[in-house]
Amino acid sequence: MSTTWVTAGSTSDLFERPSTTLKNFVINNWAETNPAAGEIRFLEDWWDGYGDYQIHFRESDTPIAVQGLGWRYRAYDDYVMVHVFARRNAAQEPPQRDNMVRELQRIVSLNRDQLTLGGLPGGGFTSAYTDRFVNTPGTGVKKSSQMQIVQINDEILTNAVFTVWHSMMRIRIHYWKVDLTP
């Protein structure tokens, strides 16, 4: 007997990596103007030296933790590493790096349960059991995930030509899956 796992609150399973979903979510919610989203390279690989501002969303090396919540329900903890780079041809740290880190913190903290993982919202489940985990009380809105910043580190990379300031942010994405097998 095969099972049909879907992301809670949707009609399908994950359709892309959580790092890709988070990257697109950040781009769509970016409000900072120094630097503006158009001045930043949002990528999923590593610093390549092109441009002064880059933000990279990478899969973490932390294993995904799966917790059984009963016969047909599971909770997952996945981690995305977000790397912020700012380059400058001077010894002073550019204020744009702090601005980018603060903007990422703002987006995650204000939208911690708004990241949509999976397909179209709705219809994925109707169980009172899962409603304990995914309903937003008093609104009738079902959430499919929660995100939280769990670690921030900074480092400086220097050579004779320029200096690169690098911040690393580990974001935990907690989401639920439901088995819809009849």
Residues facing 135 on adjacent strands: 142
Question: What CATH number has the domain bearing residue 151?
Answer: 3.30.2000.10
pLDDT of residue 1: 56
Give Cα 72 distance to the centre of its chain: 26
147-155 average pLDDT score: 83
Provide the pLDDT confidence category of residue 105 given band limits of 50, 70 and 90.
Answer: very high
DSSP readout, 70-104? STTEEEEEEEEEEEEEEEESSSSPPHHHHHHHHHH
Give the domain range for residue 31.
Answer: 5-179
**Contacting residues for 90 by C-beta, under 8 A, at least 6 apart:** 163
- pTM for the model: 0.82
Provide the pLDDT confidence category of residue 143 given band limits of 50, 70 and 90.
Answer: low
Count of domains in the chain? Answer: 1
pLDDT of residue 99: 96
Instruction: Encode pLDDT of 26-44 as tens digits.
Output: 999 999 999 999 999 999 9
139 pLDDT exceeds 50?
no
